[in-house]
Amino acid sequence: MNRLELRTYELLEKIAKKESRRNGDSNEFKNIENAIIETKNAEMNYYFAKNVMGANKPEHEKVVLEYGDPYINYLYVSEVDSSNAEAHRKIIESSNDKSLIAKFIKETTPINEL
């Protein structure tokens, strides 16, 4: 994300958080969320799903998966509740980044199975 995109995202996130606290079903909240989803920016969608209560996580997850960045997928699966670990695993493994794959396995495997 460049500096302008980051500032824009931060402003939208701030407004969305206020709207979410007031009324998660408000049109303003939905409009902001849809604007974030429509950017197709994986990083923005990851941050929104992670940081904004009431976010439509499956829709943000679709953007992250479609973008296909292994590191963003790793962050999403390790920091956003109820994410599709199997779908993210495929993208992470296809990167052939051994350290990222090891981190993913450590994060997603129950301790008694390691």
Taking the C-alpha atoms of residue 66 and residue 92, their distance in angstroms, rounded to an integer, is 13
Instruction: Give 23's pLDDT tier (boundaries 50, 70, 90).
Output: low
pTM (two decimals): 0.83
pLDDT tens for residues 25-54?
A: 678 888 889 999 999 999 999 999 999 888
Asked whether the predicted pLDDT for residue 24 surpasses 80, the reply is: no
CA 102 to chain centre: 20
pLDDT at position 38 is 95
* 8 A C-beta contact, residue 90 and residue 64: no
pLDDT tens for residues 94-114?
A: 999 999 999 999 888 877 776
Taking the C-alpha atoms of residue 96 and residue 101, their distance in angstroms, rounded to an integer, is 8
Task: Using alpha carbons, select from 84, 5, 87 the residue that is nearest to residue 47.
Answer: 5
Residue spans of the domains in the chain: they are: 3-113
CA atoms within 13 A on the CB side of 103: 16
pLDDT tens for residues 4-17?
A: 888 888 888 888 88
